[in-house]
Amino acid sequence: AAGKPVLGICVGMQALMARSEENNGVDCLGVFDGQVTFFGELQSDTGGRLKVPHMGWNQVRQGMAHPMWAGIADNTRFYFVHSYCVTGLADEEVAGRCDYGLSFAAAATRKNVFAVQFHPEKSADAGLTLLENFLRWRP
C-alpha cells in the first residue's frame, strides 16, 4: 500500500496506531504513534465517567484543510459507535476532532493515509461525500 491511498474506518483507524489497550494490550501496525485507549477508563472534562460505547451522531471539527474534507462543512455530524478512542497523535496528524465528554481524534492523516473513527457508510450524505472524496484522492 506504499504510496497508494489508504482509508481506515473505525477499528481500521485503531489498527493503524502503535498500540491498543484492547485485549490486555496489543501492538498494532504502527503507521501512527498514537495509542488506542478504552473510554471506560477515561473521565470527562467535568470529572464524570464516560458511557461506553460512544454511540450516535456527533460533530467533527476539521483540524486542517484536506482533500478528504472537500464538500463537507466543518462541524458536520458523523455516526460513531466505539468503546476505544485514539490518543497521543501529533497535532499535524489530527485531521478532525470530536467531543464526547472530552476531545479525541476523530480523523488522522499522514501522507497517503486517512483514517476516521466514525462510520462514513452510516453517516448519510456527509459520509457518502467522504467516500467519494477517497475515490478521487491522489496523494
Tell me the per-residue pLDDT of 4-37, one tens digit each, with 9 for 90 and over: 999 999 999 999 999 999 999 999 999 999 999 9
- CA-CA distances (angstroms) from residue 20 to 17, 53, 60, 69, 81? 7, 16, 23, 27, 17
As annotated, the active-site residues are 10, 119, 121
pLDDT in tens, 31-65: 999 999 998 766 666 777 778 899 999 999 999 99
Domains of the chain: 6-136 (3.40.50.880)
Q: Which amino acid is at 32?
A: F
| Length of the chain in terms of residues written | 139
What pTM was computed for the model? 0.93
- The grid coordinates listed for 90 are 501529533
